[in-house]
C-alpha cells in the first residue's frame, strides 16, 4: 500500500511538471507571436517606432530604437524577442515602445487615423492564451 501511494505521488508530480512545462511553452509562443505581430503592424516611415519595440521578463524593458530600414527594424525586434527564452511561469511579460508619437498611431489624433495595433493584438493574445489553457 505504501509503495502504491508513493508511485501515485510520483506520477502526479510528473504530470503536474509536464503541465507546467506545456503552459510555459504555450505562454512563450503566444507572447512571441504577439510581439512579432505588433512589431510587424507598426507603421514605418523612419523605422524608429518599429525598431523601438522591446520586451521584458519581470523587468521593465527600455525600448530604445533607432531610425532604420524595415528589415533592420524587424531584425532588432527579433533580437529583443530572444529575451522570452528566460520566461518562467509566474513571470510578467511586458512589451514597450518609448517612441512618443506612437500613442497617436495607436489611438489616433485629428490628423492621424488610429491603428489599434497593440490593443487589438493584446486581446487576440488573451483569447489564444485562454483557449490554450482550457485545452490543457
Q: What is the pLDDT of residue 72?
A: 67
Q: What is the pLDDT of residue 77?
A: 66
Cα 77 to Cα 53: distance, rounded to the nearest angstrom: 6
Q: What is the pLDDT of residue 81?
A: 67
Cα 53 to Cα 120: distance, rounded to the nearest angstrom: 16
Q: What is the pLDDT of residue 62?
A: 56
**Each residue of 49-86: pLDDT tens digit?**
887 888 777 766 555 555 556 666 666 666 766 677 77
At 126, the pLDDT band (50, 70, 90 cuts) reads confident
Most confident of 20-24, 78-82, 116-120: 116-120
Q: How far is CA 38 from CA 8, 14, 15, 18, 51, in A?
A: 45, 36, 34, 30, 11
Residue 53's SS3 state is strand
Least confident of 34-43, 80-89, 94-103: 80-89
Q: Provide the residue ranges of all domains of the chain, joining segments of one domain with +.
A: 44-121
Report whether 21 contacts 55 (CB < 8 A): no
Amino acid at each position: 500500500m505504501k509503495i502504491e501511494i508513493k508511485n501515485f505521488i510520483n506520477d502526479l508530480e510528473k504530470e503536474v511538471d509536464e503541465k507546467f512545462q506545456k503552459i510555459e511553452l504555450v505562454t512563450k509562443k503566444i507572447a512571441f507571436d504577439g510581439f512579432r505581430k505588433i512589431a510587424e503592424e507598426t507603421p514605418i516611415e523612419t523605422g524608429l517606432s518599429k525598431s523601438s519595440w522591446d520586451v521584458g521578463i519581470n523587468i521593465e524593458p527600455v525600448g530604445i530604437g533607432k531610425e532604420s530600414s524595415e528589415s533592420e527594424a524587424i531584425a532588432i525586434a527579433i533580437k529583443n524577442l530572444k529575451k522570452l527564452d528566460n520566461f518562467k511561469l509566474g513571470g510578467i511579460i511586458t512589451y514597450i515602445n518609448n517612441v512618443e508619437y506612437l500613442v497617436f498611431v495607436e489611438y489616433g489624433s485629428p490628423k492621424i487615423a488610429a491603428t489599434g495595433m497593440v490593443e487589438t493584438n493584446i486581446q487576440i493574445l488573451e483569447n489564444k492564451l485562454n483557449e490554450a489553457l482550457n485545452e490543457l
